[in-house]
Each structure stands twice: as C-alpha cells, then as structure tokens.
C-alpha cells in the first residue's frame, strides 16, 4: 500500500533486486476495489510493504488482505517511514503470523515525511536525497533476503541492526531488544487510537477550497475509495468519508493544491468532542450511582465504560456532523472561510516517478516465485 509513492518506490526497488537474482516478482498495489492477493499463497516469499501511519500499520492493509492465507510460506515486511518504525513492524509481523506465514525478516527505510495535512513537506533537494537513501536501503534489504530463505537469520540480523526492528527473536543484542520494546509499548496505543478514531478525525478536517475545479482526480486516486464527488454545479466538490486511511495522497496530488486542513472544521469537531466527553462523565456517574456498585468494582467498570463510550460517540460524530458541515461549506462565503488554512502555504510532495494509482505503473506489488 502506498499514499504518495514512497512505498511504491521501495517495493519497486525490492522487486528489481529480486528479479535481478532470478526471482519472478508479481507486484500488486493494496488498494480498495483492486484485486488483492487471496486464498492460499502459492509463491516462495510474500513481501508486505506499507507506509507507517501514526506508529502502526494502515488499517486498510488488514482488510484488503483478509482473504489471504500463508499456509506456512515465508514472508518479509518492509515499511517506509518519515522517522521510525515504532510498532509497525511488530504489528505487521504479528498480522502475517496470524495469517499462517513464517515471518523471516522485517525492515524498512526512512523516506520523505508526507503528512502535508499537518506539516510542510521537505524541500525538493532533501526529499530527493532522502528518497535515494531509502531506495538504497530497500535494495540492501532485498539482497539480504534474496539469496535463499535459509539466510533468514542474516536478513533478520540486518534488519535488527539497522532499525531495531522485530523479526523472530534470536541473535539480537540487548540494546536492540530494549529499543524495540520501548517503541512497541509506546507505539501500540497510538496506532490503535489512530486506526480507531484518529484517522476519522483527520479525514473530517479535509476541505476543498475555492480553487477546486471538481476534476475528480482526488476521488479517483484515493486508495481507500474514501472520497465521493458531491454537490451540484458551482458547489460540486469532494467529500471525505470515514474510510480514509490518512495516507495524504489526495492533499499531495490535487493538481491545483486545493485540498486543505480546515481549522474551522477542527474547531467544530473539537467542541463536539469536549461536549461528548463531559456528557459521558455525567451520564456514567449517574449510572454507577444508580447501579450501587462497590468502589473496587465501580472504578474499573467506570473507566472501561467511559473509554468505550467516548470512542463510540467520537466515531459517530464523524458520520453525523459531516452532512451538516458539507452543506454549510456549499454556501457562498462560508466555503472560502472553511477552506482557509495554514496548509495553503505548503508545497506538495509525492515520490519521484509516482503519478498515482501505483497499480497502473511499473511498480506492482508482491508475491515472489523463484525460477
Ligand atoms: C497520517 C500520517 C501519519 C504518519 N505517521 C508516521 C509515524 O508515526 N512515524 C513515521 O516515522 N512516519 C510517519 N508518517 C510518514 C510516512 O510513514 C512516510 O512519509 C512514508 O514514507 C509515506 O509513504 P507513502 O508515500 O508510500 O505513503 C506518517 C504519514 C502520515 C500521512
Ligand atoms: S480537490 Fe483537487 S483533485 Fe479533488 S476535485 Fe478538486 S481540484 Fe480535483
Ligand atoms: S481520502 Fe485522501 S488521505 Fe484519505 S485515504 Fe483517500 S487519498 Fe488517502
């Protein structure tokens, strides 16, 4: 899966190295609506590549691969990130193991940070050099795993030494294990919160400003099919749905740089969330008093109920509020105000050579079979 093409580049580099060593490589972009690998895996090595999103694996990876079974086949994981792997490699390895794969190595590489929804991308020269280094890392990883899967130990040591990554557990130094444990412990809650609520919140911030030409490219390109073109005539524009993964392809690839993060939208959602939290506290307080639970039972029950209620209500608000905000945005004057944002001054960034829908390009993903 790729948002802005970094992972597509890494997967293409891995694919080239494996092909040069005599492997037949079948690359498939993990994207909603595209054919994804399913059934029993028939190749020799399954390579899973994805961008790290909020310390973890994108939620969509799990859903599009739900029909795939490893049946004991070897698999490796290669992630791309802007800063660090945190919990993502551990999560991905666990996911593949549960699907019946034998995970022989995990690794990844730093590429340009693509979270343009919040932060300005790096300048072109730094992005280029970072991309070159990322590509080189992906090639080194492919070389470490390519000789034979019997060399898995070597690949594992390579991955662990470079990234403090998780592979299978032996041959690691204590410092690597500590780094790994810290990043997993810290990363898991963030990754969980992001995939449960965070990505809905971020999708709810997107707004197309008045420069939008309603070309529909963002809706066509979205790997999660999370954008629909809605509204009529002058007010026709993209509307974001909760399927959004937060990959930032739309904001980075809109030809007119018309997609922004809206502070007005952020304020509305924040206010609604604060109100929901206060109401949850009052409601649960009353309920626990009514139930007459002893304190040692009521405190944990109260905390669990509170977290569940807030998560549920927060998710609900993204569906319930969206039609109202979208309708308000369609009103002349309000659209300009809602679309006004700090991101309007940012450049946009996607990987060199990546023109969207990775499946159309030279890079397609995964499943290797040795000749
Ligand atoms: C919403 C979002 C969250 C991200 N979270 C992280 C993160 O937690 N750690 C990190 O190192 N990089 C993070 N990144 C950066 C991406 O992982 C990185 O830029 C990646 O190479 C993008 O690959 P792609 O172009 O294939 O989507 C994040 C990017 C986005 C858009
Ligand atoms: S936001 Fe950009 S890509 Fe989407 S329809 Fe408008 S101009 Fe086209
Ligand atoms: S809506 Fe934008 S950020 Fe969300 S998944 Fe689609 S392209 Fe990515």
Instruction: Tell how strand 102-110 and strand 74-81 pair up.
Output: parallel
Decide if pLDDT at 26 tops 70.
yes
- 3 state SS of 229: strand
Measured CA to CA, the distance from residue 138 to residue 141 in angstroms comes to 5
59 lines ligand 1 (CB under 6 A): no
Token pair 């809706």: residue:
219
Look at residue 366 and tell me whether its pLDDT is greater than 70.
no
Question: 259 CB under 6 A from ligand 2?
Answer: yes
C-alpha span between 285 and 110 (Å, rounded) = 47
Task: Give distance in angstroms: CA of 51 to centre of ligand 2.
Answer: 23
pTM summary value: 0.87
* From 249, 254, 257, mutation site for ligand 2 pocket: most ligand atoms within 8 A of C-beta: 254
Q: Give 151-205 pLDDT, tens digit per residue.
A: 555 555 555 544 444 333 333 455 556 667 777 777 888 998 899 888 988 999 9
Phi-psi region of 248 (alpha: psi -120 to 50; beta: other; left: phi over 0): left
Give the closest residue (by CA) to ligand 2 atom 7: 212
Per residue in 239-257, pLDDT (tens digit) is 999 899 999 999 999 999 9
């Amino acid at each position: 899966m790729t948002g802005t093409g970094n992972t597509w580049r890494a997967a293409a580099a891995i694919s080239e190295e494996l092909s040069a060593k005599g492997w037949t490589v079948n690359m498939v972009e993990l994207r909603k609506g595209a054919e994804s690998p399913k059934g029993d895996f028939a190749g020799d090595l399954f390579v899973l590549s994805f961008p790290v999103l909020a310390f973890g694996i994108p939620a969509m990876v799990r859903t599009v691969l739900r029909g795939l079974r490893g049946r004991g086949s070897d698999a490796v994981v290669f992630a791309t990130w802007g800063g660090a792997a945190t919990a993502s490699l551990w999560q991905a390895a666990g996911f593949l193991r549960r699907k019946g794969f034998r995970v022989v190595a995990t690794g990844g590489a730093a590429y340009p940070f693509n979270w343009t929804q919040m932060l300005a991308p790096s300048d072109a020269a730094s992005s280029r050099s970072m991309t070159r280094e990322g590509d080189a890392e992906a090639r080194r990883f492919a070389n470490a795993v390519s000789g034979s899967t019997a060399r898995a130990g070597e690949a594992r040591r390579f991955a662990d030494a470079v990234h403090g990554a998780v592979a299978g557990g032996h041959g690691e130094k204590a410092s690597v294990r500590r780094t790994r444990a810290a990043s997993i412990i810290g990363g898991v809650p963030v990754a969980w919160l992001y995939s449960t609520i965070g990505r809905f919140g971020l999708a709810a911030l997107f707004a197309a400003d008045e420069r939008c030409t309603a070309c529909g490219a963002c809706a066509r390109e979205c790997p999660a099919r999370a954008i629909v073109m809605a509204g009529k005539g002058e007010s026709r524009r993209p509307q974001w749905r909760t399927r959004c993964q937060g990959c930032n392809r739309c904001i980075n690839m809109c030809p007119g740089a018309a997609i922004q993060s809206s502070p007005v939208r952020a304020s509305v959602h924040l206010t609604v969330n604060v109100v929901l939290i206060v109401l949850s506290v009052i409601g649960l307080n009353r309920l626990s008093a009514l139930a007459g639970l002893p304190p040692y039972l009521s405190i944990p029950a109260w905390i669990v109920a509170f977290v569940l209620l807030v998560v549920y209500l927060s998710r609900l608000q993204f569906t319930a509020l969206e039609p109202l905000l979208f309708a308000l945005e369609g009103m002349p004057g309000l659209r300009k105000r809602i679309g006004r944002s700090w991101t309007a001054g940012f450049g946009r960034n996607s990987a060199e050579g990546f023109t969207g829908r990775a499946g159309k390009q030279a890079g397609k993903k995964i499943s290797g079979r040795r000749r």
